[in-house]
A and B are shown apart, each in its own frame.
Chain A
Amino acid sequence: GAGVSQSPSNKVTEKGKDVELRCDPISGHTALYWYRQSLGQGLEFLIYFQGNSAPDKSGLPSDRFSAERTGGSVSTLTIQRTQQEDSAVYLCASGMNSGPSYEQYFGPGTRLTVT
């Protein structure tokens, strides 16, 4: 079956512009996570969705970052007024959060470059 997909795979934007990153989780997965991977920082948690609600958004670095999830499926991460320090690979993961399987399945990521 299809895995987690993310689009676009690469995004180059100018400083100050807004960007939207999309994540399509595995069908039926109720949990969805966004992480950011950057040089020197490793992998950082951003936000967690259970269904359409976000019980944990503690990792969002500033109010320029927001995310939503609709229909318990697709999620969009929006970064407003992008800054150069936002350049990173943004990874999405989904999971079932039930039974013995606690796996988070990761997408290939969106590489964001802010110039």
Chain B
Amino acid sequence: GEDVEQSLFLSVREGDSSVINCTYTDSSSTYLYWYKQEPGAGLQLLTYIFSNMDMKQDQRLTVLLNKKDKHLSLRIADTQTGDSAIYFCAESLSGYSTLTFGKGTMLLVSP
């Protein structure tokens, strides 16, 4: 079955890098996603990576995928207070299938 695990909380100082980690169990996962949820808001897709990629960079965001260990990470460079939110890792078997989410990591950025 599918299962996605994340640490629940991360606290960093403004300007530091943040690394949020995620592990998944289904080796058939084809797409892995990072979503951001700000208080009282819906989920916003930050980035996604295909399973045949090791890394994807998008401005301040870097996604690393270790398919052997089924480990996904999201690095946010120069973290800002506006990055404070809950970050969800999600997997799917194909681009149009349903998503299986982790329970989310709350990122708190202090000035």
Chain A residues at the B interface, C-beta cutoff of 8 Å: 4, 31, 33, 35, 41-45, 48, 50, 56, 59, 91, 93, 95, 97, 102-109
Contact = CB atoms under 8 A, between A and B. Distances in A.
Interface string B45-66: 1001000000000000000000
Interface of B: 31, 35, 40-45, 48, 88, 90, 92, 95-104
A102 B48 contact: yes
A105 B45 CA distance: 7
A86 B45 CA distance: 26
Contacts of B96: 31, 50, 95, 97, 102
A104 B45 contact: yes
B88 to A, nearest CB: 7
B29 to A, nearest CB: 13
Contact of B104 (A4, A42, A50, A108): A42
Given A45-B98, A59-B98, 10 more contacts: A33-B98, A42-B102, A44-B101, A50-B96, A97-B95, A97-B96, A102-B48, A103-B45, A104-B99, A108-B40
A33 B58 CA distance: 27
A48 B101 contact: no
Interface of A is mostly: strand
B95 A102 contact: yes
B26 to A, nearest CB: 14
Nearest to B42: A106
A41 to B, nearest CB: 8
A91 B35 CA distance: 14
A50 B97 CA distance: 10
Nearest to A6: B42
Across the A-B interface, the 5 shortest Cβ-Cβ residue pairs = A102-B95, A97-B96, A42-B103, A43-B101, A106-B42
A95 B94 CA distance: 13
11 contacts: A4-B42, A33-B99, A42-B88, A43-B90, A45-B99, A56-B97, A91-B42, A91-B43, A97-B96, A106-B35, A109-B42
Contacts of B101: 35, 42-44
